Amino acid sequence: MAEDGRGCYVYGVVPDDRSDDAVKDLGAVGDPDAAVTLVLHGGQAAVVSEVPLDKPLGTPEDLRAHARVLDSLAAKSSPVLPFRFGTVVRDTTAVTGELLREGHDDFARALDRLRGRSQFTLRARYVQDVVLREVLTEQPEAVRLREELQGLPEEAGYDQRIQLGQLVMDAIAAKRALDVLEVDRRLGPCVLASISTEPSSAEGLVNASFLVEDDRRTAFEQAAEELGKRWDGRVKIRLLGPLAPYDFVADAMSPAKDPAEEGD
Amino acid sequence: MVTVASQQSQYLDRASSSALVDVVDLILDKGLVIDVYVRVSLVGIEILTIDARIVVASVDTYLRFAEATNRLDLARSGTETKGLPGLMDEIQEGGGRKKTKGALEGVKDTVSDLLQGDDEADESDDEAGEREEARRGESGDRPRHRRSSSRERER
Protein backbone atom coordinates (compact mmCIF):
# COMPACT_ATOMS: atom_id res chain seq x y z
CA MET A 1 0.00 0.00 0.00
CA ALA A 2 2.77 2.40 0.89
CA GLU A 3 4.19 2.29 -2.61
CA ASP A 4 1.06 3.76 -4.14
CA GLY A 5 0.77 6.47 -1.53
CA ARG A 6 -1.66 4.67 0.70
CA GLY A 7 -1.19 3.51 4.25
CA CYS A 8 -3.16 1.46 6.69
CA TYR A 9 -5.18 3.43 9.23
CA VAL A 10 -5.71 1.50 12.46
CA TYR A 11 -8.78 2.27 14.58
CA GLY A 12 -8.19 -0.29 17.27
CA VAL A 13 -8.10 -3.93 18.23
CA VAL A 14 -10.95 -6.35 18.98
CA PRO A 15 -11.11 -10.12 19.53
CA ASP A 16 -10.99 -12.04 16.25
CA ASP A 17 -14.48 -13.45 16.59
CA ARG A 18 -15.97 -10.09 15.70
CA SER A 19 -17.48 -9.56 12.28
CA ASP A 20 -16.91 -6.51 10.13
CA ASP A 21 -20.64 -6.22 9.41
CA ALA A 22 -21.02 -3.36 11.84
CA VAL A 23 -18.28 -1.26 10.31
CA LYS A 24 -17.45 -2.14 6.72
CA ASP A 25 -19.76 0.45 5.16
CA LEU A 26 -19.46 3.18 7.74
CA GLY A 27 -17.03 5.37 5.84
CA ALA A 28 -13.34 5.36 6.62
CA VAL A 29 -11.00 8.00 7.96
CA GLY A 30 -9.38 9.93 5.12
CA ASP A 31 -11.42 8.25 2.40
CA PRO A 32 -15.18 7.84 2.74
CA ASP A 33 -15.17 5.20 0.01
CA ALA A 34 -12.58 2.94 1.59
CA ALA A 35 -13.86 -0.18 3.32
CA VAL A 36 -13.27 -0.73 7.01
CA THR A 37 -12.01 -4.27 7.49
CA LEU A 38 -10.60 -6.60 10.09
CA VAL A 39 -7.09 -7.99 9.87
CA LEU A 40 -6.78 -11.13 11.97
CA HIS A 41 -3.77 -12.52 13.79
CA GLY A 42 -3.38 -14.71 16.83
CA GLY A 43 -6.93 -14.45 18.15
CA GLN A 44 -7.05 -10.70 17.71
CA ALA A 45 -8.25 -8.42 14.96
CA ALA A 46 -7.07 -4.96 14.03
CA VAL A 47 -9.78 -2.71 12.64
CA VAL A 48 -8.26 -0.96 9.63
CA SER A 49 -8.89 0.89 6.40
CA GLU A 50 -6.73 2.18 3.57
CA VAL A 51 -5.83 5.82 3.88
CA PRO A 52 -4.20 8.17 1.36
CA LEU A 53 -0.89 9.45 2.73
CA ASP A 54 -0.66 12.61 0.66
CA LYS A 55 -3.57 14.26 2.45
CA PRO A 56 -3.52 15.45 6.05
CA LEU A 57 -5.99 13.86 8.42
CA GLY A 58 -8.17 15.62 10.91
CA THR A 59 -11.18 17.08 9.13
CA PRO A 60 -14.38 16.94 11.17
CA GLU A 61 -15.49 14.03 9.04
CA ASP A 62 -12.24 12.18 9.76
CA LEU A 63 -12.76 12.57 13.49
CA ARG A 64 -16.36 11.44 13.21
CA ALA A 65 -15.38 8.43 11.12
CA HIS A 66 -12.85 7.33 13.73
CA ALA A 67 -15.40 7.55 16.55
CA ARG A 68 -18.20 6.04 14.46
CA VAL A 69 -16.22 2.90 13.67
CA LEU A 70 -15.13 2.33 17.27
CA ASP A 71 -18.47 3.17 18.84
CA SER A 72 -20.36 0.97 16.41
CA LEU A 73 -18.18 -1.93 17.46
CA ALA A 74 -18.64 -1.04 21.12
CA ALA A 75 -22.41 -0.83 20.67
CA LYS A 76 -22.47 -4.41 19.38
CA SER A 77 -20.25 -5.89 22.02
CA SER A 78 -17.17 -5.30 24.08
CA PRO A 79 -14.21 -5.35 24.33
CA VAL A 80 -12.81 -2.76 21.94
CA LEU A 81 -9.36 -1.22 22.33
CA PRO A 82 -9.48 2.22 20.73
CA PHE A 83 -6.24 3.63 19.33
CA ARG A 84 -5.46 7.29 19.25
CA PHE A 85 -6.70 9.24 16.25
CA GLY A 86 -4.11 9.29 13.49
CA THR A 87 -2.50 5.89 13.99
CA VAL A 88 -1.21 4.75 10.59
CA VAL A 89 1.08 1.85 9.68
CA ARG A 90 2.58 0.91 6.32
CA ASP A 91 0.24 -1.84 5.22
CA THR A 92 -1.64 -4.90 6.42
CA THR A 93 1.60 -6.86 6.54
CA ALA A 94 2.83 -4.41 9.16
CA VAL A 95 -0.43 -4.94 11.04
CA THR A 96 0.02 -8.69 11.29
CA GLY A 97 3.82 -8.83 11.34
CA GLU A 98 4.50 -5.96 13.73
CA LEU A 99 1.44 -4.55 15.44
CA LEU A 100 -0.52 -7.66 16.33
CA ARG A 101 2.51 -9.90 16.72
CA GLU A 102 4.51 -7.56 18.96
CA GLY A 103 1.50 -6.33 20.85
CA HIS A 104 -0.27 -9.63 21.29
CA ASP A 105 0.26 -10.11 25.01
CA ASP A 106 -0.47 -6.51 25.95
CA PHE A 107 -3.58 -6.43 23.80
CA ALA A 108 -4.70 -9.76 25.25
CA ARG A 109 -4.42 -8.42 28.78
CA ALA A 110 -6.33 -5.25 27.93
CA LEU A 111 -9.02 -7.12 26.00
CA ASP A 112 -9.43 -9.42 28.96
CA ARG A 113 -9.78 -6.54 31.39
CA LEU A 114 -12.31 -4.73 29.21
CA ARG A 115 -14.39 -7.74 28.25
CA GLY A 116 -18.05 -7.12 29.03
CA ARG A 117 -17.38 -3.48 29.84
CA SER A 118 -17.99 -0.26 28.00
CA GLN A 119 -17.76 3.44 28.52
CA PHE A 120 -20.56 5.88 29.14
CA THR A 121 -19.93 9.59 29.16
CA LEU A 122 -22.18 11.95 31.04
CA ARG A 123 -22.30 15.69 30.60
CA ALA A 124 -24.46 17.81 32.80
CA ARG A 125 -24.89 21.54 32.92
CA TYR A 126 -27.16 23.86 34.79
CA VAL A 127 -30.07 25.55 33.08
CA GLN A 128 -28.88 29.09 33.50
CA ASP A 129 -32.06 30.94 34.42
CA VAL A 130 -33.19 28.27 36.83
CA VAL A 131 -29.93 28.14 38.73
CA LEU A 132 -29.74 31.94 38.81
CA ARG A 133 -33.22 32.06 40.34
CA GLU A 134 -32.06 29.61 42.99
CA VAL A 135 -29.12 31.83 43.79
CA LEU A 136 -31.33 34.90 44.08
CA THR A 137 -33.66 33.00 46.38
CA GLU A 138 -30.83 31.84 48.60
CA GLN A 139 -28.59 34.90 48.60
CA PRO A 140 -30.18 38.12 49.89
CA GLU A 141 -26.95 39.93 49.07
CA ALA A 142 -27.36 39.06 45.39
CA VAL A 143 -30.88 40.46 45.43
CA ARG A 144 -29.65 43.62 47.11
CA LEU A 145 -26.85 44.14 44.55
CA ARG A 146 -29.22 43.46 41.73
CA GLU A 147 -31.69 46.05 42.95
CA GLU A 148 -28.92 48.54 43.49
CA LEU A 149 -27.69 48.03 39.96
CA GLN A 150 -31.05 48.46 38.38
CA GLY A 151 -31.08 52.12 39.31
CA LEU A 152 -27.58 52.79 37.99
CA PRO A 153 -26.22 53.61 34.56
CA GLU A 154 -23.89 50.94 33.17
CA GLU A 155 -20.55 52.63 33.92
CA ALA A 156 -21.46 53.64 37.45
CA GLY A 157 -22.27 50.12 38.56
CA TYR A 158 -19.06 48.44 37.44
CA ASP A 159 -17.85 47.44 40.91
CA GLN A 160 -21.26 46.22 41.95
CA ARG A 161 -21.57 44.21 38.79
CA ILE A 162 -18.23 42.54 39.41
CA GLN A 163 -19.31 41.87 42.97
CA LEU A 164 -22.67 40.45 41.90
CA GLY A 165 -21.15 38.26 39.24
CA GLN A 166 -18.54 36.91 41.63
CA LEU A 167 -21.13 36.23 44.29
CA VAL A 168 -23.34 34.39 41.81
CA MET A 169 -20.46 32.30 40.49
CA ASP A 170 -19.34 31.40 44.00
CA ALA A 171 -22.87 30.36 44.85
CA ILE A 172 -23.03 28.17 41.73
CA ALA A 173 -19.66 26.63 42.61
CA ALA A 174 -21.05 25.69 46.03
CA LYS A 175 -24.08 24.08 44.37
CA ARG A 176 -21.81 22.24 41.98
CA ALA A 177 -19.77 20.79 44.83
CA LEU A 178 -22.93 19.38 46.40
CA ASP A 179 -24.49 18.22 43.15
CA VAL A 180 -21.34 16.39 42.09
CA LEU A 181 -21.59 14.38 45.31
CA GLU A 182 -25.15 13.49 44.36
CA VAL A 183 -23.99 12.28 40.94
CA ASP A 184 -21.34 10.12 42.61
CA ARG A 185 -23.76 8.78 45.17
CA ARG A 186 -26.25 7.68 42.54
CA LEU A 187 -23.98 6.47 39.76
CA GLY A 188 -20.96 5.33 41.75
CA PRO A 189 -22.48 2.01 42.88
CA CYS A 190 -23.21 1.04 39.26
CA VAL A 191 -19.76 1.61 37.79
CA LEU A 192 -16.33 -0.02 37.89
CA ALA A 193 -14.36 3.15 37.40
CA SER A 194 -14.89 6.79 36.62
CA ILE A 195 -12.89 9.72 35.37
CA SER A 196 -14.14 13.24 35.52
CA THR A 197 -12.80 16.51 34.27
CA GLU A 198 -13.51 19.69 36.11
CA PRO A 199 -16.02 21.70 34.12
CA SER A 200 -14.34 25.07 34.12
CA SER A 201 -17.20 26.57 32.20
CA ALA A 202 -19.60 28.69 34.15
CA GLU A 203 -22.67 26.48 33.81
CA GLY A 204 -20.98 23.11 33.70
CA LEU A 205 -21.92 20.68 36.44
CA VAL A 206 -20.17 17.47 35.57
CA ASN A 207 -18.27 15.96 32.68
CA ALA A 208 -17.43 12.38 33.48
CA SER A 209 -16.79 9.01 31.88
CA PHE A 210 -17.75 5.74 33.49
CA LEU A 211 -16.65 2.19 32.88
CA VAL A 212 -19.77 0.09 33.18
CA GLU A 213 -20.12 -3.66 33.25
CA ASP A 214 -22.70 -5.03 30.80
CA ASP A 215 -24.82 -6.59 33.53
CA ARG A 216 -24.87 -3.31 35.44
CA ARG A 217 -25.75 -1.26 32.40
CA THR A 218 -29.48 -1.19 33.01
CA ALA A 219 -28.98 -0.22 36.63
CA PHE A 220 -26.58 2.52 35.56
CA GLU A 221 -28.95 3.87 32.94
CA GLN A 222 -31.80 3.84 35.44
CA ALA A 223 -29.72 5.68 38.00
CA ALA A 224 -28.85 8.30 35.40
CA GLU A 225 -32.49 8.54 34.42
CA GLU A 226 -33.48 9.11 38.04
CA LEU A 227 -30.88 11.79 38.32
CA GLY A 228 -32.34 13.43 35.21
CA LYS A 229 -35.79 13.19 36.69
CA ARG A 230 -34.71 14.66 40.00
CA TRP A 231 -33.13 17.63 38.27
CA ASP A 232 -35.61 17.95 35.43
CA GLY A 233 -35.73 21.54 34.21
CA ARG A 234 -32.75 22.49 36.37
CA VAL A 235 -29.93 20.48 34.88
CA LYS A 236 -29.56 19.25 31.34
CA ILE A 237 -27.96 15.84 31.18
CA ARG A 238 -26.59 14.12 28.14
CA LEU A 239 -25.60 10.50 28.34
CA LEU A 240 -23.45 9.10 25.54
CA GLY A 241 -22.85 5.40 25.23
CA PRO A 242 -22.10 2.62 25.12
CA LEU A 243 -18.84 3.88 23.68
CA ALA A 244 -15.40 2.44 23.08
CA PRO A 245 -13.48 2.83 26.37
CA TYR A 246 -11.42 5.83 25.25
CA ASP A 247 -10.83 6.98 28.81
CA PHE A 248 -9.99 3.58 30.27
CA VAL A 249 -7.97 1.77 27.63
CA ALA A 250 -4.60 3.14 28.69
CA ASP A 251 -5.01 1.80 32.22
CA ALA A 252 -6.24 -1.51 30.85
CA MET A 253 -3.04 -1.82 28.79
CA SER A 254 -0.78 -0.96 31.65
CA PRO A 255 0.88 -4.03 33.20
CA ALA A 256 0.25 -2.69 36.69
CA LYS A 257 -3.02 -0.88 36.66
CA ASP A 258 -6.47 -2.07 35.96
CA PRO A 259 -9.18 0.52 35.44
CA ALA A 260 -11.50 -1.50 37.64
CA GLU A 261 -8.82 -2.60 40.10
CA GLU A 262 -9.78 -6.19 39.57
CA GLY A 263 -10.05 -8.71 36.80
CA ASP A 264 -6.50 -9.99 36.37
CA MET B 1 -28.93 -0.15 12.34
CA VAL B 2 -25.76 -1.22 13.97
CA THR B 3 -26.36 0.31 17.33
CA VAL B 4 -28.14 -1.47 20.08
CA ALA B 5 -31.30 0.38 20.89
CA SER B 6 -30.92 2.28 24.10
CA GLN B 7 -33.69 2.27 26.55
CA GLN B 8 -36.15 5.07 26.10
CA SER B 9 -35.26 8.03 28.19
CA GLN B 10 -37.56 10.74 29.30
CA TYR B 11 -35.19 12.89 31.29
CA LEU B 12 -31.87 12.40 29.56
CA ASP B 13 -30.58 13.35 26.17
CA ARG B 14 -29.41 10.02 24.77
CA ALA B 15 -28.94 11.14 21.19
CA SER B 16 -25.68 9.97 19.77
CA SER B 17 -24.41 13.24 18.57
CA SER B 18 -22.06 13.71 15.72
CA ALA B 19 -21.38 17.29 16.68
CA LEU B 20 -17.71 18.01 16.34
CA VAL B 21 -17.32 19.21 19.89
CA ASP B 22 -18.63 15.90 21.22
CA VAL B 23 -16.37 13.86 19.03
CA VAL B 24 -13.33 15.98 19.82
CA ASP B 25 -14.01 15.69 23.52
CA LEU B 26 -14.43 11.95 23.29
CA ILE B 27 -11.56 10.90 21.08
CA LEU B 28 -8.79 13.45 20.80
CA ASP B 29 -5.93 12.83 23.15
CA LYS B 30 -7.62 9.56 24.11
CA GLY B 31 -6.97 6.00 23.11
CA LEU B 32 -3.80 3.99 22.91
CA VAL B 33 -0.63 5.53 21.63
CA ILE B 34 0.50 2.19 20.39
CA ASP B 35 4.21 2.73 19.96
CA VAL B 36 4.38 3.30 23.70
CA TYR B 37 3.39 -0.33 24.16
CA VAL B 38 4.25 -2.01 20.91
CA ARG B 39 7.34 -1.99 18.74
CA VAL B 40 5.79 -0.90 15.49
CA SER B 41 6.81 1.49 12.75
CA LEU B 42 4.16 4.09 12.35
CA VAL B 43 3.76 6.05 9.18
CA GLY B 44 3.99 9.77 9.70
CA ILE B 45 1.00 11.56 8.31
CA GLU B 46 0.14 15.19 8.57
CA ILE B 47 -2.60 15.87 11.06
CA LEU B 48 -4.78 18.92 11.03
CA THR B 49 -5.44 19.96 14.53
CA ILE B 50 -8.44 21.72 15.77
CA ASP B 51 -7.08 24.79 17.32
CA ALA B 52 -9.95 25.56 19.56
CA ARG B 53 -9.52 27.88 22.43
CA ILE B 54 -11.80 29.43 24.88
CA VAL B 55 -10.67 32.31 26.95
CA VAL B 56 -12.85 33.07 29.86
CA ALA B 57 -11.23 35.82 31.85
CA SER B 58 -12.71 35.78 35.29
CA VAL B 59 -13.71 39.42 35.33
CA ASP B 60 -15.47 38.99 32.01
CA THR B 61 -17.30 36.01 33.38
CA TYR B 62 -18.37 37.89 36.48
CA LEU B 63 -19.71 40.68 34.33
CA ARG B 64 -21.60 38.27 32.16
CA PHE B 65 -23.11 36.56 35.16
CA ALA B 66 -24.10 39.89 36.60
CA GLU B 67 -25.69 40.79 33.30
CA ALA B 68 -27.53 37.48 33.14
CA THR B 69 -28.74 37.90 36.69
CA ASN B 70 -29.83 41.44 36.01
CA ARG B 71 -31.85 40.63 32.97
CA LEU B 72 -33.65 37.78 34.73
CA ASP B 73 -37.29 38.54 34.69
CA LEU B 74 -38.28 37.36 38.11
CA ALA B 75 -41.95 37.38 37.27
CA ARG B 76 -41.38 34.87 34.55
CA SER B 77 -40.25 31.40 35.36
CA GLY B 78 -38.93 28.33 33.75
CA THR B 79 -38.07 29.74 30.38
CA GLU B 80 -34.53 28.99 29.49
CA THR B 81 -32.59 31.61 27.70
CA LYS B 82 -29.54 30.97 25.67
CA GLY B 83 -26.29 30.45 27.51
CA LEU B 84 -24.07 33.17 28.78
CA PRO B 85 -23.76 35.80 26.12
CA GLY B 86 -20.48 35.78 24.39
CA LEU B 87 -18.89 32.76 26.00
CA MET B 88 -18.89 30.93 22.72
CA ASP B 89 -17.40 33.82 20.86
CA GLU B 90 -13.92 32.92 21.87
CA ILE B 91 -14.06 29.44 20.52
CA GLN B 92 -12.22 29.59 17.32
CA GLU B 93 -11.30 26.84 15.07
CA GLY B 94 -7.99 27.59 13.55
CA GLY B 95 -5.83 25.64 11.24
CA GLY B 96 -2.94 24.44 13.31
CA ARG B 97 -1.01 21.84 11.40
CA LYS B 98 1.34 19.43 12.98
CA LYS B 99 3.44 16.74 11.54
CA THR B 100 3.09 13.92 13.97
CA LYS B 101 4.42 10.47 13.93
CA GLY B 102 1.26 8.57 13.56
CA ALA B 103 -0.35 9.09 16.89
CA LEU B 104 -1.78 12.45 17.55
CA GLU B 105 0.16 14.03 20.35
CA GLY B 106 0.12 17.52 19.02
CA VAL B 107 -3.36 18.46 20.00
CA LYS B 108 -3.06 17.92 23.73
CA ASP B 109 -3.09 21.52 24.79
CA THR B 110 -5.59 22.72 22.29
CA VAL B 111 -7.97 19.96 23.15
CA SER B 112 -7.87 20.56 26.83
CA ASP B 113 -8.63 24.15 26.02
CA LEU B 114 -11.58 23.08 23.99
CA LEU B 115 -12.91 20.89 26.73
CA GLN B 116 -13.26 23.90 28.92
CA GLY B 117 -15.72 25.28 26.47
CA ASP B 118 -17.55 22.07 26.15
CA ASP B 119 -20.62 22.85 28.13
CA GLU B 120 -21.40 26.00 26.29
CA ALA B 121 -20.59 24.35 23.06
CA ASP B 122 -23.04 21.55 23.70
CA GLU B 123 -25.76 24.03 23.52
CA SER B 124 -25.02 24.97 19.99
CA ASP B 125 -24.46 21.45 18.80
CA ASP B 126 -27.10 21.69 16.18
CA GLU B 127 -25.72 24.86 14.73
CA ALA B 128 -22.22 23.51 14.87
CA GLY B 129 -23.34 20.35 13.16
CA GLU B 130 -24.88 22.27 10.35
CA ARG B 131 -21.81 24.38 9.91
CA GLU B 132 -19.65 21.33 9.71
CA GLU B 133 -21.93 19.86 7.12
CA ALA B 134 -21.68 23.01 5.11
CA ARG B 135 -17.93 23.04 5.31
CA ARG B 136 -17.49 19.48 4.37
CA GLY B 137 -18.02 20.56 0.81
CA GLU B 138 -14.75 22.41 0.93
CA SER B 139 -11.54 20.76 -0.01
CA GLY B 140 -10.70 18.41 2.79
CA ASP B 141 -7.03 19.13 2.96
CA ARG B 142 -7.06 22.75 3.93
CA PRO B 143 -6.92 23.96 7.48
CA ARG B 144 -10.07 25.53 8.74
CA HIS B 145 -9.82 29.17 9.47
CA ARG B 146 -13.24 30.28 10.36
CA ARG B 147 -15.98 29.20 12.55
CA SER B 148 -18.86 31.47 11.95
CA SER B 149 -20.79 31.60 15.12
CA SER B 150 -24.39 32.57 15.27
CA ARG B 151 -23.60 33.76 18.75
CA GLU B 152 -21.57 36.63 17.55
CA ARG B 153 -24.76 38.53 17.07
CA GLU B 154 -25.34 38.48 20.77
CA ARG B 155 -22.44 40.73 21.33
Q: Per-residue pLDDT averaged across A108-127, rounded?
A: 96
Per-residue pLDDT at B138 exceeds 90: no
Q: Per-residue pLDDT averaged across B118-126, rounded?
A: 41
Q: Picking from A97-101, A170-174, B81-85, which range would have the lowest pLDDT averaged per residue? A: B81-85
DSSP A244: -
Residue A258, domain member (yes or no): no
Q: The domain spanning residue A173 has which CATH number?
A: 3.30.70
| Measured distance CA(A161)–CA(A182) in Å, rounded | 31
Decide if B52 touches A, using CB distance below 8 A.
no
Residue A101, domain member (yes or no): yes
| A98 and A183, same domain (yes or no) | no
> Residue A48: which domain range?
2-114
Q: Do A103 and B38 touch (CB under 8 A)?
A: yes
Q: Do A162 and B32 touch (CB under 8 A)?
A: no
Decide if B118 touches A, using CB distance below 8 A.
yes
Provide the 3-class DSSP secondary structure of residue A49.
Answer: strand
Q: Per-residue pLDDT averaged across A57-78, rounded?
A: 92
B11 vs chain A: nearest CA distance in angstroms? 5
Highest mean pLDDT: which range of A17-26, A118-127, A197-206, B101-110: A118-127
Residue A234, domain member (yes or no): yes
Provide the 3-class DSSP secondary structure of residue A4.
Answer: helix
ipTM of the complex: 0.82
**Residue pairs between chains A and B whose CB atoms are closer than 8 Å:** 276
* Structure confidence at residue B62 (pLDDT): 76
| Under 8 Å between Cβ of A122 and A210 | yes
Q: Do B45 and A53 touch (CB under 8 A)?
A: yes
pTM higher than 0.95: no
Residue A27, domain member (yes or no): yes
Count of domains forming chain A? 2
Residue A260, domain member (yes or no): no
| A28 and A129, same domain (yes or no) | no
* Structure confidence at residue A127 (pLDDT): 95
Q: Which chain B residues are Cβ-neighbours of A239 within 8 angstroms? A: 9, 12-14
Q: Do A84 and B31 touch (CB under 8 A)?
A: yes
Mean pLDDT of chain B: 55
Name the residue among A78, A22, A11, A64 with its Cα closest to residue B1: A22
| A103 and A122, same domain (yes or no) | no
Option in B9, B31, B119 nearest A249 (CB): B31
Decide if B116 touches A, using CB distance below 8 A.
yes
| Spatial CB neighbours of A245, under 8 Å, sequence gap ≥ 6 | A74, A78, A79, A80, A81, A82, A114, A117, A118, A119, A211, A252, A259
Residue A66, domain member (yes or no): yes
Q: Where a domain ends, among A81, A114, A147?
A: A114
Please give the C-alpha separations between residue B105 and each of A233, A244, A245, B42, B51, in angstroms, as whole numbers: 39, 20, 19, 13, 13
* Structure confidence at residue A15 (pLDDT): 97
Residue A190, domain member (yes or no): yes
